[in-house]
Amino acid sequence: MLFHSFEGMLTTGGMPEYLFRRTHGIVGLLRRLVEDGCTEAITSGEERLTPELLARTSIRLGNLADLDPEAGEVPEIPLNVKPPQQSRKKPGRRPRNTVFDDQGDRPAADG
């Protein structure tokens, strides 16, 4: 477990899109990237996964002697995938509320 992990670390912001671009949606590559990223996060002391940390983490498939690359058993690993750009929000400005709080039809309160 990473000491500075948080709920949604891999599922919020630009991370899902980055992970998909980095692994082409191949679960085995995603698993290797997350495992290798966790090792890098622990080794570096960062203790959380960020797109920047994952961008400098190589996906290593290990021993592939039992797989046939000619048959497509070894996936192509995407290279040089850049992490998503951080949004540059103006300081002090709150984001616009895009949620509509429609309560629908409610019964009248008896008074």
Task: Please tell me the distance from the alpha carbon of residue 58 to that of residue 36, in angstroms, as a whole number.
Answer: 7
99 pLDDT higher than 90: no
Whole-number percent of the chain with pLDDT over 90 = 35
Task: Please tell me the distance from the alpha carbon of residue 57 to that of residue 54, in angstroms, as a whole number.
Answer: 5
Instruction: Read off the pLDDT band of 4 (50, 70, 90).
Output: confident
Is this model's pTM higher than 0.75 or not?
Answer: no
39 pLDDT higher than 80: yes
